[in-house]
Structure 1
């Protein structure tokens, strides 16, 4: 008697590959109490979806084709073109679609993230700063746009939010510069900066940064400082008091992380914000609420 073979859906694959990472792994306060209570469930739905698609593309056991199939499946669910598999990872897309339709926030704030992660599945090197910013436009900027549009903010706030989110994305790349190459063979260091300083992508695997690589980090941090200066005007344009405070906190966290990455070596060990950084950033947000 022949055994009945298990059919594996070519879109969703055999199993959920979601990682145990949570909100504590982020550089910004996820599900913050600064958000109005009525908006927290919407933010949580968005975060859960973003975490799942990030896990899909970073999973080392999946082929590029399998990653893209899953990501495209998630996009089709968001657009209402496919039913989600009744499994935790796929259901995050179905849940988020309901929240987006309820709030009127554009579906593109979710599907643009998928565009970036599909790119991650097939592209692992970047030629220059503009190319890296083009990636941030899809991988990070939609997050800020989602939050601002959810809170009914004006479109004038979006370019400043884009600057902040791009800064945070580049800072995250610097934090993970060794791990990304070691586990995913992926580097976001612009090749033209490396060439100009006589550095190589593989230098991030050494015990500490060589002088040329350190200069590349500093060049990137110069660009981040420019983005952070632009983003510093964001809280003053935000009308919702809670969202204004949140933006002030995140701007402060971005600035403090950039300062830490100037002082510390991300090759020698992952540079991250400490408790004191968080306290000072939240104090800045509190002053914005009072003002």
Structure 2
């Protein structure tokens, strides 16, 4: 019986330590909160200008459509581009056809399929080209936007299919087709299949032009490689944002090939306007009004579309 009593006897718990009453605990609760770190404060409240290095307050930069005080046009995502282009930021999102993710089973340090999955998760987009339908300064149009953040906006099967879908949607609705280009060229992980999209997108544009519909290209930074060599240079009107890089091959590659130093500003939008390759350089804030004016002029006398 004595042994049982010893087993049931539990050691007493040590007394809980008293809360230390420092000076911070004695002041008003509202003042205490002022010293605490706010969990809802964004870490990226300031953004560095890529051109000047100036730190810019993020809300001010967003209000300026991501154009810095120096006039540098920063790159923006596909959804944001559609919002600032269409009236009141309202548009109908048009889904692109599903495609095979890794047709060539491209070998790399990190598998191509995993890269695609990670990029889709980070950006919330299926691929580098997004499509929307709405009105631009009152003019109905289908707009497609390439996002350079999605694997350099590279032209692959998915981008080709999305471009064709956008062109067919424009023909179906009998409205103009506007595209914002931004690409480093063809997608190397898809090899020849990516190069085939240059021809396929050109054929899709033939349907747009056969229907008598305007096709407007807005080149953003950068527009290069196979994209420039295909649908970026087939527009009825070519616009560009200020200082956008536009060219097929890089400056250094060209200089090494021809063994000459290229002039200052070579392959920049303003340089190309002077030589007739681009019709006009337009700031981001002015783009909707300029596009609306062009679309209105090019569709003058045409019966309103059923979709509109």
Question: Do the structures match in fold with TM over 0.5?
Answer: no
TM-score normalised according to structure 2 size: 0.31
TM-score normalised according to structure 1 size: 0.32
Structure with the bigger RCO (C-alpha within 8 Å, sep 6+) is 1
Q: Which has the larger radius of gyration?
A: 2
